[in-house]
């Protein structure tokens, strides 16, 4: 009887983020009558996509026991570089290069990967703590973003037909009523879930996070795996840089400031352990939705921005406390099961 009880609690705990999400949606539907409308849900999804995509990359990094604080700055830097390429082109010597939007997207994704690669190399090859490394690249990228235009904004980024660089707006537009960012979020989520759960690479990432030493001893190239997670994170951040710029039709060097924290919050809410070794993509997606629903819901109910911060912080701490409780309970149950089988 007692066992059944604890099993029920386990199930509830495992699905807690999802339950919280449902409760939040129900709560806000009552608190603000217009919350449960197609328009609002589309808007929430649009916002969720922004830090959801960042959180996807963050999930991989955190599973290996690392952290990537640079993603917010990468968003700003990529936005500025993309905006600059469209508006001013790339001038080398006496020639100016104007890239088409698909080429700019590819280039910016490469930039994101490159920053991730630098992060990963410094962390693994020079043995610098991930927190410090990415804190450093966070500042560097933000500085570079400001340097690109001397702190000014690239406004009205539309491109010119004659230069063949129109079309970035598509990344910020709606298709069949759903924002493009949400499609990108969905596609990247599927790729991430398959990568993590269905490929050897995914198992390697989980193994490195669980126990790096034994992963190494069993022949996994732990350094390569770690570097790859930072590359993935940079890749995701570059997408957000592009989508954010497209949605605003402008690039500001301070955009994306602090977004890494939303991504970390979504990841942790989704049940990914900060100490590494466990985490799921679906958890992160639900976590991102929880953050999104809390943010937009509170705004719609007229809760002040200051209170929003306090509530958001409390929710994150609560999530980790419950996470810890679950782990303890799990360990206890495993012990119980072992004793019974004896």
Contact residue for another protein among 1, 38, 102, 305 (CB under 8 A) = 102
201 makes contact with another protein (CB under 8 A): no
Residue closest to 117 by CA, chosen among 205, 234, 206, 264: 234
Contact residue for another protein among 2, 4, 162, 340 (CB under 8 A) = 162
The site that binds another protein (CB under 8 A) totals a number of residues, namely: 21
Task: Using the minimum distance from each CB to another protein, give the nearer residue, 160 or 307.
Answer: 160
Q: CA-CA distances (angstroms) from residue 164 to 93, 103, 137?
A: 21, 11, 33
Residue 132: both structure tokens together: 């410090």
Q: How far apart are CA 296 and CA 302, in angstroms?
A: 10
- How wide is the angle at C-alpha 142 spanned by C-alphas 138 and 143, nearest 5°? 115
Helix (H, G, I), strand (E, B) or coil at 127: coil
160 makes contact with another protein (CB under 8 A): yes
Residue with tokens 């063949």: 164
- State how beta strands 90-92 and 174-175 pair: unpaired
Task: Using the minimum distance from each CB to another protein, give the nearer residue, 58 or 228.
Answer: 228
Helix (H, G, I), strand (E, B) or coil at 251: strand
26 makes contact with another protein (CB under 8 A): no
Question: Smallest distance from the beta carbon of 201 to another protein, in angstroms?
Answer: 11
Contact residue for another protein among 60, 99, 230, 239 (CB under 8 A) = 99
Residue with tokens 């983020």: 17
Task: Using the minimum distance from each CB to another protein, give the nearer residue, 100 or 280.
Answer: 100
Question: Smallest distance from the beta carbon of 240 to another protein, in angstroms?
Answer: 20
Residue 214 Rama label (left phi>0; alpha psi -120 to 50; beta)? alpha
Q: How far apart are CA 19 and CA 26, in angstroms?
A: 11
Task: Using the minimum distance from each CB to another protein, give the nearer residue, 95 or 213.
Answer: 95
Contact residue for another protein among 98, 154, 239, 259 (CB under 8 A) = 98
Residue 276: both structure tokens together: 């590494």
Contact residue for another protein among 15, 27, 31, 89 (CB under 8 A) = 89
Question: Smallest distance from the beta carbon of 96 to another protein, in angstroms?
Answer: 5
- How wide is the angle at C-alpha 166 spanned by C-alphas 164 and 172, nearest 5°? 155
Q: For another protein, which stretch binds (CB under 8 A), given 102-110, 143-151, 261-269, 327-335?
A: 102-110
Question: Smallest distance from the beta carbon of 251 to another protein, in angstroms?
Answer: 18
Q: Which residues bind another protein (CB under 8 A)?
A: 89, 91, 93-100, 102-103, 106-107, 110, 160-165
């Amino acid at each position: 009887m007692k066992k059944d009880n604890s099993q029920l609690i386990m199930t509830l705990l495992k699905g807690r983020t999802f339950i919280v999400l449902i409760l939040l949606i129900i709560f806000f539907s009552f608190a603000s009558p217009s919350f449960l409308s197609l328009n609002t849900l589309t808007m929430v999804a649009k916002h969720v996509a922004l830090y959801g995509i960042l959180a996807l990359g963050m999930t991989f990094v955190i599973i290996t026991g690392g952290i990537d604080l640079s993603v917010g700055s990468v968003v700003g830097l990529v936005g500025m570089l993309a905006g600059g390429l469209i508006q001013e082109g790339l001038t080398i010597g006496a020639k100016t290069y104007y890239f088409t939007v698909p080429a700019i997207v590819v280039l910016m994704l490469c930039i994101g990967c490159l920053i991730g690669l630098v992060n990963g190399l410094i962390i693994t090859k020079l043995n610098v703590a991930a927190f410090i490394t990415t804190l450093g690249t966070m500042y560097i990228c933000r500085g570079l973003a400001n340097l690109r235009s001397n702190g000014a904004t690239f406004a009205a980024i539309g491109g010119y037909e004659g230069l063949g660089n129109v079309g970035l707006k598509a990344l910020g537009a709606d298709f069949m009523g759903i924002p493009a960012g949400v499609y990108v979020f969905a596609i990247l989520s599927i790729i991430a879930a398959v990568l993590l759960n269905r490929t050897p690479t995914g198992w390697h990432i989980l193994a490195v996070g669980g126990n790096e030493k034994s992963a190494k001893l069993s022949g996994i190239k732990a350094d390569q795996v770690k570097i790859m997670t930072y590359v993935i994170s940079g890749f995701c951040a570059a997408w957000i840089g592009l989508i954010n710029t497209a949605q605003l039709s402008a690039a500001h060097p301070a955009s994306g400031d602090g977004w890494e924290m939303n991504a970390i919050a979504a990841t942790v809410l989704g049940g990914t352990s900060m100490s590494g070794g466990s985490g799921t993509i679906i958890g992160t997606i639900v976590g991102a939705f929880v953050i999104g629903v809390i943010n937009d819901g509170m705004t719609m109910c007229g809760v002040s921005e200051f209170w929003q911060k306090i509530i958001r912080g409390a929710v994150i701490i609560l999530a980790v406390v419950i996470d810890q409780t679950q782990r303890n309970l799990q360990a206890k149950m495993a012990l119980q099961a072992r004793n019974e089988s004896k």
